[in-house]
Chains A and B, each alone.
Chain A
Amino acid sequence: MTGTFLGMPAFPQAAAAALRDGRLRANLRHATHTIRDKRARAVAELDDWAELRAAGKAIKDHTLRHLDRYLVQLEEAVAAAGGAVHWAADAEEANRIVADLVHATGETEVVKVKSMATQEIGLNEALAAEGITAYETDLAELIVQLGDDRPSHILVPAIHRNRAEIREIFAERMAAWGRPAPADLTDSPAELAEAARLHLREKFLRARVAVSGANFMVAETGTLVVVESEGNGRMCLTLPRTLISVVGIEKVVPTWRDLEVFLQLLPRSSTAERMNPYTSLWTGLGPSKGADGDGPSAFHLVLLDNGRTAALADQVGRQALRCIRCSACLNVCPVYERAGGHAYGSVYPGPIGAILTPQLRGITSPVDASLPYASSLCGACYEVCPVAIDIPEVLVHLRERVAEQGGHPLERAAIAAAGYLFDHPAALAAAERLAGRTRALHPRRLPGPGRAWTDTRDLPQVPAEPFRDWWRRNRS
C-alpha cells in the first residue's frame, strides 16, 4: 500500500482485486450495515426530514447560482474580522500558498484537522517536499497516516481496518512519529483511543501552526464551521498561533439561518447523531482581532477552486457541488460495500466520488473514465442524500461524456447494431426467430468479452418463439 492514488488501475480491475480480500469484505459489510441502520433510525426521528432535505438542496442551489456574490461577501467579512483570504485556482497553487505561509512562521510542523479538501490537493505530500511535517489528528486519519495507507471512506477513512489491524499499526508505527504506543496495548477500543490520545497530546501542545478545512463558511459574517466527534479539531483550532483553513469554494452558505438546516442534515446523515459532539465556529480572529491572546493570532483562509468552477458550468453535473461530505451514499452503496474505497482511486470514493472525481480531475485517465460506470444505478444513494443529489442522473450524464470521447469499439458496434434492429421491427423479429430456431446450438459459456457474463452465469435459454409470434398466432 502506498500513500498515493496516482496511476490507479480502472475501477473494475481494482474492485475485482478487493473482492478477493475476505477480511476487507467482512470489515466493510459490518461497518456499512451498522451505520446505514443507525442513520435510518436517526432520520426517521424527524417528521420534517423531507422538508429539511428540500431546503438544503434549495439553499445550495441558490448559493451556487450566486457563488460570485457570496464569495466576495465572505472574503470581505473574513478580512474585516482580521483574517487574510487567498484564492487558489488549483491544487498546486493552494499547496504553494500553504507552504509559504508555514515557512513564514519559521515552523516545520503543523497539526491537521480532518479535511477532505487538503486530501484532495495532496497537501501533506506537498508540505513534506518542503520539509514540513503534517500530523493528522483525527483518529482514523492517524491510523491511515501511521499505516502509510490511503483513506477509503470520507467520514471513516480507516473503515477498511479492524481493531486488530489498528492495534498492530499503533504498536509498530507510533514510535516513528512521536510517543510510542504502550507496550501492553490490546485491541480494546478504549485502549486504542487512549494510546491515540496520549500520542496526539504531544502534538497539540507543541504545534504552532494548524491546518484545517471547514464544513461550512457563512458569508454574512465570515464565520467558518467545523463539525467533528473527537475534539481533536477543537484543539487544533484553538491552541496554535497560526490557523490556515483550506476550503472548497462550494462550502459557502449565505446566512446563519441557512447553516441551521445543514447542522441538522449533516450529523444525522453522517454519524447518525442528532448533533455532533463538537461544533467549532470562528470568525477571523474574533472581535479583539487576536489582541486578547485567545485563540490563533493569525488566520488565513485559502479558497480552493481545483475544478469546481468547471463542474459548476455543467448543468447536470453541478449538483455534485451541493455535497456536504456526509458519506451516507457510501454507506448504502452495494458497489462500495463490496469494492471498498480504494478501488475508486480518489479521496472521494463511493457514489459521490464516482460523480465528483471525474468532474474535478477530468476523464482522461483509465480510472477516472471508469468511475461513472462503477454503479448498478440502484438509486440507494439518491434516496439517502441529504441534499438530494440525483447521483444516478449524473452518472449517466458522465457516461455520455466518456462515450463521446470514443468509448469502447465493441460497445459502439453493439449500440449501432441494436439501434438498427430496434428501429426495424421486421428485422428484429427475424433475428428473434433465427435465435429461436438455432437455440439447441447455443453455448452456455462464451469466449472473449462474453466471458464477463458467463464466468458466473449461464446464457439464458432462448424461447422457441418470441412473444410477437405468439401474439400473431393467437390474438391478431
Chain B
Amino acid sequence: MRVALFATCVNDALFPATAVATVRLLERLGVDVDFPAGQTCCGQPQYNTGYRQACEPLVRRTARAFAGYEHVVTPSGSCVAMVRDNYPRIGARAAADGRGTELAEAADALAPRVHELTEFLTDVLGVEDVGAYFPHTVTYHPSCHGLRVLGLGERPLRLLRAVRGLELVELPGAEECCGFGGTFAVKNAAVSAAMAEDKLAHALGTGADVLCGADNSCLLHLGATLHRRGEALRPLHLAEILASTEQHPWRPS
C-alpha cells in the first residue's frame, strides 16, 4: 500500500521528529510513504481566526498536492478535522457566493481520503500492536479535535496499551481542553494559561514520565509551559512512541 504523508506545517517546521517517526512506523508496517512536496499548511489557524477567504488557496493547494492518493495520513487530529469538517464548508461558501463549484469539488474529493494516524492504523491497517517498545510511564491527553470532532475514542489508548514496556496511567479530566486553541492562546492568554495550569496539575499528579498526545500543537503549548516551569515531564507525540522499538528505541532529540 502506498500512502501520502501530510506532515502538517507545525510538524514540518517545529516537530520533524514526529513526521520522521510517522514515516518509520508506517514503513515498518509495510506501507510505502510519499511526501508530496507541494503540501504546506491546511489553513486551520487562518480559518479559526476568521480569515476564511485566506484559506481558499490552501484548500486548493492541499487538494492538488494529495490528488491521486487513496489514503493521506496525518499525525494531527486538528488538521484532519480542518480538512474533514471545514474544507467542505469553505467550498460550499465559495459556491454560494457565486464563485463556482471547483473549490467545493476539490474539498469534497479530498476530505474522505484524509486519515488521522490512529484511525489509519486501527481502521485501515487493522493493527493495534504495532510492535513498539517504550519502557516508560505514560499518560495520554486526547486533544479536543481528535476526541470530539473526529471521535477517535479509544483508538490511541488501544495502540498505547499494546506497546511493550509501557505503563499507561489514566489522566484525570482527560477530556478537558488544554487551553491551546490556536490564536486563542495569545488572544486570551490568561485563560489559556489557566487551562494549561490545570491540565498540567492533572498530568504531573499521575507521576508519569511522558505526557503523550496526538496533536503537537497542544503539546507545543503544554511543553512550553512545562519548560518555563522547569518540570521534567516530557511531552511526546504518540507517533514517536509507536515508532520506538527495542532495536531503535526512542531517544530524546
Judging by beta carbons under 8 Å apart, are A376 and B144 in contact? yes
Q: Are B47's CB and A396's CB within 8 A?
A: yes
Q: Identify the stretch in B36-44, B104-112, B206-214 within 8 Å (CB) of chain A at 4 or more residues.
A: B36-44
B95 contacts the other chain (CB 8 A): no
Complex Cα–Cα for A430 and B17 (A): 19
Task: Say yes or no: B253 contacts A425, CB within 8 Å.
Answer: no
Judging by beta carbons under 8 Å apart, are B177 and A425 in contact? no
Residues of B within 8 A of A398 (CB): 50
Interface centre among B43, B47, B224, B227 (most CB of A within 10 A): B224
Chain A residue nearest to B253 (CB atoms) is: A463
Q: Check B232 for interface membership: any CB of A closer than 8 A.
A: no
Q: Does chain A have a CB within 8 A of B9?
A: yes
- Known contacts A463-B14, A467-B12; A425/B23 CB under 8 A: no
Q: A380-B148, A403-B51 are in contact. Are A423 and B184 (CB under 8 A)?
A: no
B20 lies within 8 A of A467 (CB): yes
- Cα separation A458 to B235 with both chains bound (whole Å): 14
Q: Are A418 and B148 in contact (CB under 8 A)?
A: no
- Which residues of A are found within 8 Å of B204, using beta-carbon distances? none
> Please, what's the 1-or-0 string for B220-237, where 1 marks a CB less than 8 Å from any CB in chain A?
110111011000000000
A334-B177 in contact given A378-B148, A399-B48, A403-B50 (Cβ < 8 Å):
yes
Report chain A residues within 8 Å CB of B51: 400, 403, 415
For A256-276 the 0/1 string (1 means CB < 8 A from B) is 000000000000000000000
Nearest chain B CB to A453's CB is how many angstroms away?
A: 5
| Contact yes or no, A425 B148, CB < 8 A | no
A: contact size bracket = 35 or more
Which parts of A416-472 form the interface with B (CB within 8 Å)?
416, 418-419, 421-423, 425, 428, 432, 435, 449, 452-453, 455-460, 462-463, 465-468, 470-471
**What per-residue 1/0 map shows which CB atoms of B167-198 lie under 8 Å from chain A?**
00000000111011111111111111111100
Q: A428-B40, A453-B186 are in contact. Are A338 and B191 (CB under 8 A)?
A: yes
A131 proximal to B (CB < 8 A): no
Contact (Cβ within 8 A) B58 A378: no
Residues of A within 8 A of B196 (CB): 456-457
Instruction: Give Cα A411–Cα B16 distance, bound, in whole angstroms.
Output: 27
CB closest chain-B residue, reference A12: B188
A343–B47 Cα distance when bound, in Å, is 25
Whether a CB of chain A sits under 8 angstroms from the CB of B54 is yes
CA distance A16 to B49 in the complex (A): 21
Partner of B41, one of A11, A422, A462: A422
- For A449, the chain B residues whose CB sits under 8 A away are 186
CB pair B57 A334 closer than 8 Å:
no
Which residues of A have CB within 8 Å of B50? 372, 396, 398-404, 407
Verify B187–A12 contact, CB threshold 8 A.
Answer: yes
Chain B's nearest CB lies how many Å from the CB of A396? Answer: 6
Residues of B near A455 (CB, < 8 A) are 189, 193
In this complex, the member of A12, A334, A462 whose beta carbon has the largest number of chain B beta carbons within 10 angstroms is A334
Contact of A375 with B by CB under 8 A: yes
A31: CB under 8 A from chain B? no
A377 within 8 A of B: yes
The residue on B at minimum CB distance from A381 is: B148
Please give the distance in Å from B200's CB to the nearest CB on chain A: 11
B61 close to chain A: CB less than 8 A: yes
Does B45 lie within 8 Å of A475, measured CB to CB? no
Interface residue from A12, A380, A399, A435 paired with B49 (Cβ < 8 Å): A399
Is residue B19 within 8 Å, beta carbon to beta carbon, of the partner chain? Answer: yes
A307 on interface, CB distance cutoff 8 Å: no
Chain B, Cβ-Cβ closest to A449: B186
- A334-B195, A378-B148, A415-B49 known; A460 vs B58 contact (CB < 8 Å): no
- B180 touching A376 by the CB < 8 A rule? yes
Q: Decide if A382 is an interface residue (CB 8 Å cutoff).
A: yes
* Contact A468 B253, CB 8 Å, known A382-B148, A396-B48, A460-B223: no
| Residues of chain B lying within 8 A (CB to CB) of residue A15 | 188, 190-191
Q: State how many angstroms separate the Cβ of A337 from the closest Cβ of chain B.
A: 9
Residue contact B13 to A432, C-beta cutoff 8 Å: yes
Which residues of chain A come closer than 8 Å to B191, judged between CB atoms? 12, 15-16, 19, 335, 338-339, 374
When C-beta atoms are compared, the residue in chain B nearest to A25 turns out to be B194
> For residue A11, which residues in chain B have a CB less than 8 angstroms away from its CB?
188
Contacts of B225 in A (CB 8 A): 456-457
Asked if B228 contacts A457 (CB within 8 A), the reply is yes
Residues on the A chain within 8 Å of B138, using CB:
none
Cβ–Cβ contact A335 & B220, under 8 A: no
A334 to B195, CA, bound (A): 7
* Bound complex: CA A402 to CA B50 (Å): 7
Establish whether residues B16 and A466, one from each chain, have CB atoms under 8 Å apart when the complex forms.
yes
Interface membership of A383, Cβ < 8 A: yes
Closest chain A residue to B221, Cβ basis: A457
On whether the beta carbons of B41 and A418 are closer than 8 Å, the reply is: yes
Most buried by A among B43, B182, B228: B228
List the B side residues contacting A467 at CB < 8 Å.
7, 11-13, 16, 19-20, 35
B52 interface contact, C-beta 8 A: yes
- The answer to whether A378 touches B177, judged by C-beta atoms less than 8 angstroms apart, is yes
A459 touches B190 (CB 8 A): no
Contact B13 A334 (CB under 8 A): no
**Cα(A261)–Cα(B186), bound, Å:** 41
A290 at the interface (CB under 8 A from B): no
Give Cα distance in the complex from A337 to B79, angstroms.
27
Listed from nearest, the 9 A-B pairs whose CB atoms lie closest are A376-B181, A399-B50, A378-B177, A457-B224, A403-B50, A16-B190, A467-B16, A379-B148, A378-B144
Q: A19-B190, A428-B40, A432-B12 are in contact. List 15 more A-B contacts (CB 8 A).
A: A12-B188, A16-B190, A335-B191, A376-B177, A376-B184, A377-B181, A378-B144, A380-B175, A411-B183, A415-B51, A418-B41, A456-B189, A456-B228, A459-B224, A463-B15
